[in-house]
Amino acid sequence: MVHSTVPRVPGYVAMVFLSMALSILPLEAQSPEPPNESAAEEAALDASAGILFISREGYAEQDDPDIRRSIDYVAQATENAFSPVGITIRQKQVTDDSPEGISPEQIQAACREAGVRWGITVYTRFSEERLSWRIGIYDGAEGFFRASDAFVVSLYVGLSAQTPTESSANKVVQNWQKSFPDQDFDGNFAVNHGQRFRSPQEGIGIYFGSETGIFGGTIEEGELTTPIVLFVEGAPVYGVAVKQGYWSKPFALPKGITDEVVSLPRLQKKTHHAVSFIAEFRGIEHYSVDFEYRFHVLPDRFFLKLDWALWRDESSLSDQERLLHQEVRLSPGLYIQLKKDFPVRIAVGTGVSLAFAGGNINILTDPLWVDLEYHFPQWAVKAEMRVPNVFGYDRGIFGEDRVDSGLYVSFGIMLKW
């Protein structure tokens, strides 16, 4: 009989190894990686919906209807601006007397609780007849503000706040769109081509967003095709046309980047100086040629003008001779149109003049004159009405030859630079 030389393993040792193996196997089988709860929450946030947070602070007269209406304009303009780009407001939260607005932590918590990605904030403050606001959009998934804009309106509330609030809200939308240059946003981006623009004015620069936004190029030989810029497909795109020495002009692409050629609005020149050549009448018998120079203290807003006119009167004021005289007039003037670059303008002012007639001097005053003007980029046509009065006239001093007061009407062409 052959005896084995393999040593036997004691039974209790085998039992120890077996129990250790059995205890390890279940642990390995039951220890998968924990799920990424944060990623799951982000995936569950609806990117087409948001919450509008409205914070109001600092105005003493809570029931003032103009103030309330102005603040409501800010909130409504914000909601209207985000609606065309596919963000629906599911909830509105209003907080009065909230210093500096709602905190980012509160916004993110509210977004996650409601299951929406975007927290759109509107913080308003009224103090010393100044309405200020700050609009922002918070990314509840990423945890930061993607875009914001602040604005102040001094001394004006009510309806006058509507236009700047709409512009401010649209600017936030533009900057929000630009915050996705290299990412997919719901997979909907504009087709891969630039936008074509056309303008008769050479040298106009195109910016998407604001003047500090994305540069799209310069008009050359009447046209421009911008580089490829990724925006949400079908959503409105806003921009501004600029040129040195001219007033900037915003534009909108309601359908976003398209294959169509967009004609840009004409830019108006910023007027610092202007000269006008004018024909002026008082009836059909009293007429003049007039040269006018304007110096704009504030471009296209406030100016001083100096006129020189040579008059001819076909009537015999003295019953002895026909009258030929000169007039020199100094007048301050003010444009009262809302926009500085608006083509149809009304200017008002007052003035004083010296008329040299028949060896005598008459002093005339213009209590009020009114200009109606239509402006092209570098020139304008104008019509003026004034009713000068002779001041200090005395027959014993000036004799019979004098300049009569009455209704004066003039027409002219203005050149601007």
Instruction: Give the CB-side neighbour count of residue 69, counting CA atoms within 13 A.
Output: 10
Strand partners for 371: 347, 384
Query: Residue 77 region, left (φ>0) first, then alpha (ψ -120 to 50), else beta?
Result: alpha
Please provide the CATH number assigned to the domain covering 196-263.
Answer: 2.60.40
Nearest 10 degrees: Cα torsion 404, 405, 409, 415: 90
SS3 label, residue 153: strand
CB-count exposure of residue 107 (10 Å: 0-12, 13-18, 19+): buried
Using alpha carbons, select from 142, 46, 143 the residue that is nearest to residue 103. Answer: 143
Domain extent listing, the chain: 42-178, 196-263, 273-416
Using the structure block, give the residue that is written with the tokens 């006008």: 276
Domain 42-178: what homologous superfamily? TolB, N-terminal domain (3.40.50.10070)
Element (H, E) at 392: none
Q: Where are the beta strands (DSSP E) in 187-233?
A: 196-198, 205-208, 214-218, 223-225
Q: Are 416 and 378 in contact (CB under 8 A)?
A: yes
Decide whether 42-178 matches 196-263 in CATH topology. no
Top-tier CATH class for 273-416? mainly beta
Cite the beta strand spans of 229-313 per DSSP E: 237-242, 249-253, 261-263, 273-282, 286-298, 302-313
The whole-number pLDDT of residue 179 equals 72
Query: For position 152, what pLDDT does the model report?
Result: 62
User: What are the beta bridge partners of residue 249?
Assistant: 241
Q: What is the pLDDT of residue 253?
A: 87
380: nearest Cα among 351, 334, 348, 411: 411
Token look-up 């000036």 returns 398
Cα–Cα dist 312/219, whole Å: 49
Digit-by-digit pLDDT tens for the chain (417 residues) are: 444 444 454 554 444 444 444 344 443 333 344 444 444 454 578 888 899 988 877 655 556 666 677 677 777 888 888 888 788 888 888 876 666 667 888 888 899 999 999 999 888 777 666 677 778 888 888 887 888 776 665 544 444 556 677 777 888 887 787 776 554 444 444 456 789 999 999 999 998 876 766 788 999 999 999 887 656 666 677 888 999 999 999 888 888 888 899 999 899 999 999 999 999 998 777 889 999 999 999 999 999 999 999 988 775 554 544 567 789 999 999 999 888 899 999 999 999 998 887 677 888 888 999 999 999 999 999 999 998 887 655 444 444 555 666 789 999 999 999
Of the candidates 245, 248, 251, 244, the one whose C-alpha atom is nearest the C-alpha of residue 197 is: 251
Q: What's the pLDDT score for residue 245?
A: 93
Distance of CA 379 to the CA centre of its chain: 25
Helices (H), 270-329: none
Is residue 378 a contact partner of residue 415, using CB atoms and an 8 Å limit?
yes
To which residue do tokens 């304007």 refer?
Answer: 294
- The separation between CA 260 and the C-alpha centre of its own chain, rounded to angstroms, equals 25
Could you tell me if residue 129 is left (phi over 0), alpha (psi between -120 and 50 degrees) or otherwise beta? left
Residues with Cβ within 8 Å of residue 4, at least 6 apart in sequence = none
Q: For the whole prediction, is pTM greater than 0.75? A: no
Q: How far from the centroid of its chain's Cα atoms is residue 108's Cα?
A: 30
In order of 292, 305, 333, 351, 390, the CA distances from 330 in angstroms are 10, 6, 10, 6, 15
